[in-house]
Amino acid sequence: MSEKRDYYEVLGLSQGASADEIRRAYKQAALKHHPDRNAGDKAAELKFKEATEAYTILSDDDKRRTYDRFGHAGFEGGGGVDFSGAGVNDILSHFQDMFTDFFGGAGGGQQRRRRAERGQDVGVAVELTLAESMGGGKREVTVRGPATCDTCSGKGTKSGSVPGKCQACRGTGQVTAQRGFIMFASPCARCGGTGTFIQDPCDTCHGAGAVERQRRVLVTFPAGIDSGQRLRVPGQGMPGPNGTPPGDLYVDVELAADPHFERQGDSLGTRRRVSFATASLGGEIEIDLPDESKVTAKIPPGTQPGTVLAINGKGMPRVDRSGRGNLHVMIEVVVPSKISKKAKKLIQELEQELSGESPPEAHPS
């Protein structure tokens, strides 16, 4: 310890320097000697470690009082820090909050993280019919979980009271512990890392700011949405801690099987049965789509069984609203299982007519 330079001298300060002056002096030294700005410079690396060690002691009120009274000797029994043998990466890792505070702009890393705090996201799965997917629209989704407490509006405190600064961590949200020459920081157990502590908790939520309940969220499903797609509903997730914004609700969509239609992307497929006469002579059939609209399919003369007719623009709407896919209609020709004597004779005559053969001798049936 006797070889160490005076911490105030390292930072270029007098012993009566204020906390703000110590902070500014360290920021200036750290910026000047930061490893990212002095790659491979061992002298700068040592100065960076030295300045960080000095700041670690002088920025802590208790350690500074000990140092002011006894100097380096005050830590010979433990409680001090020694970064001379530590790696730069270790220092940067364990003091990430402090460096983010200095180099990340105004407000400080801890304050920025608090502003960024929000509730957890929630996910639910919803099954839609093909008709609902094709037409789109609004539907209520049931979500069960923590919801903002109405009594305290999510603050967790009784009316008229406000959270106070946590005394265990002095409002920082973190506590530190020393292991050798490295200082480790961890979230404060008393306040959960928030830096505040509720003395008069809300009687309804007992300070949590949220209560467990079932609620309904109105979700808008765009026309054409398909299985495997996900919708995000901002602000409908779990409440944030201490009145911070809630998370988001994510809705995963699955389509139920439809008895009459099959979907592939933005295309729809269906089967329709027509008579032999319609397949032979041609005609029209009317198809009721899942969204209750109707489309007319034209059957060309001589349509064979298994023929697929494509009707442009009558399939599923595209989610990006760039039109619709196609409707594919597979034609099945109905063959009667029972026919009358007259029908049988007519069919035989038709077969002969089509084949160009002479009519066979009639046999009594």
What would the pLDDT profile of 72-111 be if each residue is shown by its tens digit?
887 776 666 666 666 665 566 545 555 555 554 333 344 4
147 — phi, psi (to 5°)? -130, 155
Amino acid at 199: Q
Question: Does 304 or 200 have the greater pLDDT score?
Answer: 304
Residues of the chain with CATH 2.60.260.20: 122-155+202-239+247-255, 262-334
**Whether this model's pTM surpasses 0.75:** no
pLDDT score recorded for residue 107: 37
Q: Closest Cα to residue 174, out of 150, 144, 194, 156?
A: 194
- pLDDT tens for 331-365 read 999 988 888 999 889 888 888 888 876 555 555 54
Q: Taking all residues of the chain, what is their mean pLDDT, rounded to a whole number?
A: 83
- Residue 88 near residue 207, CB atoms below 8 Å: no
DSSP track, 165-208 = EPTTTTTSSEEEEEETTEEEEEE-TTTTTSSEE-SSB-TTTTTS
318, burial (CB in 10 Å: exposed 0-12, middle 13-18, buried 19+): middle
| pLDDT at residue 220, rounded to an integer | 94
Question: Quick one: what percent of the chain has pLDDT higher than 90?
Answer: 38
For residues 310 and 23, give the distance between their C-alpha atoms in angstroms, rounded to a whole number: 74
Mean pLDDT over 153-175 rounds to 83
Regarding predicted confidence, which is higher, 199 or 241? 199
Picking from 159, 192, 162, the residue whose alpha carbon sits closest to that of residue 174 is: 192
pLDDT at 14: 92
pLDDT confidence tier of residue 310, bands split at 50, 70 and 90: very high
pLDDT of residue 106: 35
Could you give the strand order of the β-sheet that contains 249-255, starting from the edge strand earlier in sequence?
Answer: 122-128, 249-255, 230-233
* Structure tokens belonging to residue 364: 């009594």
Q: What is the CATH number of domain 122-155+202-239+247-255?
A: 2.60.260.20
Superfamily grouping for domain 262-334: Urease metallochaperone UreE, N-terminal domain (2.60.260.20)
**Residue 269: enclosing H or E segment and its boundaries?**
strand 267-275
Residue 41 has pLDDT above 90, yes or no: no
250-295: pLDDT as tens digits: 999 999 999 999 999 999 999 999 999 999 999 999 999 999 999 9
Residue range 180-239, pLDDT digits in tens:
555 667 888 878 777 888 888 998 888 888 888 888 999 999 999 999 999 999 999 887
Cα(242)–Cα(261) distance, integer angstroms:
50
pLDDT confidence of residue 130? 96
pLDDT at 325: 95
CATH assignment of 7-116?
Answer: 1.10.287.110
Is pLDDT larger for residue 26 or for residue 117?
Answer: 26
Residue 27's SS3 state is helix
Q: Is the pLDDT of residue 127 over 70?
A: yes
Q: Bridge partners of 254?
A: 127
Helix, strand, coil shares, percent, the chain, to 5: 30, 25, 45
Q: What is the pLDDT of residue 264?
A: 94
Look at residue 153 in the predicted model and tell me its pLDDT. Answer: 81
Helices (H) and strands (E) counted in the chain, each on its own, are 10, 15
Give the pLDDT of residue 81. Answer: 66
Dihedral, 196, 202, 204, 210 alpha carbons, nearest 10: -30
pLDDT number for residue 104: 46
Q: What is the mean pLDDT of residues 166-186?
A: 74
